[in-house]
Amino acid sequence: MSPVETILVFVVIPAAIYGAVALLTLRERAAKTPRYRPGQDWDYPPVWWTANPAGTAQPAHAGDDNADSAPNARTAWGGARGSW
């Protein structure tokens, strides 16, 4: 084996493989859209997320007829304790 073949096999081919892997890993970062960083201006409209899009048209208080009789009536149980 000549010195040129030795350098080709043990230096150039592994360097080409490492270079190809490095380019593949850096390619994804360059293709992504820029990320928001704290302190930057927010140039996008607000997006409100809801788990039930059909329920967004519902009024906040469906039964306002007897709202004066029980203003602080508790209707939900549970909480951080998990005693539902």
Residues 6+ apart with CB under 8 A from 42: 36
Q: Per the confidence metrics, is the pTM higher than 0.75?
A: no
44 neighbors 37 (Cβ within 8 angstroms): no
Tokens of 26: 């850096």
CA dihedral defined by 52, 53, 57, 58, rounded to 10 degrees? Answer: 0
> Which CA distances in Å does 32 have to 18, 20, 35?
23, 19, 8
Residue-wise pLDDT tens digits, 15-28: 999 999 998 888 76
Give residue-wise pLDDT tens across range 37-67.
888 888 888 877 767 767 666 665 555 555 5
